[in-house]
Amino acid sequence: MSGISGSEFLLLCLIGLLVLGPERLPRVASQIGSWLGQARRMTRVMKRQLEEELDVEKNIGINPKDFNPDELLTPRDDDTFSPLHTEEDDDGEPDVNEGVTEEKPA
């Protein structure tokens, strides 16, 4: 699970026994175990919530695999903002000032 062998675990237990003593070692081990349990529970809850949020088909009722990105990026006929729908001047360039009237000073 954590990538340590049995002999390494035994060595860690012996070091813990020497540092903490026989009275405090069981309490510290219990506290570490409860922290790990809480961390695992929180991870499971967060994973479940994320999976529920990302389940588009269930939440919205559509299957994302049914969509073609090229069709979504194609401008619609009623899309007047798209640069593909701008009118061009005589020089072949789009008219950026079309429909704008300038007031001349008097």
Question: What pLDDT, on the 0 to 100 scale, is given for residue 101?
Answer: 57
Residue whose C-alpha is closest to residue 27's, from 46, 35, 57: 35
18 touches 10 (CB < 8 A): no
Question: What pLDDT, on the 0 to 100 scale, is given for residue 51?
Answer: 86
* pLDDT tens series, the chain, 106 aa: 567 888 998 898 888 888 888 888 889 889 999 999 999 999 999 999 988 887 766 777 777 777 777 777 776 666 666 565 555 555 555 555 555 555 656 5
**Region label for 82, one of left (φ > 0), alpha (ψ between -120 and 50) or beta (otherwise):** beta
Question: What pLDDT, on the 0 to 100 scale, is given for residue 33?
Answer: 92
Question: In the chain, how many H helices and how many E strands?
Answer: 3, 0
3-state secondary structure of 94: strand
Cβ neighbors of 45 (< 8 A, separation 6 or more) are none
Question: What pLDDT, on the 0 to 100 scale, is given for residue 31?
Answer: 93
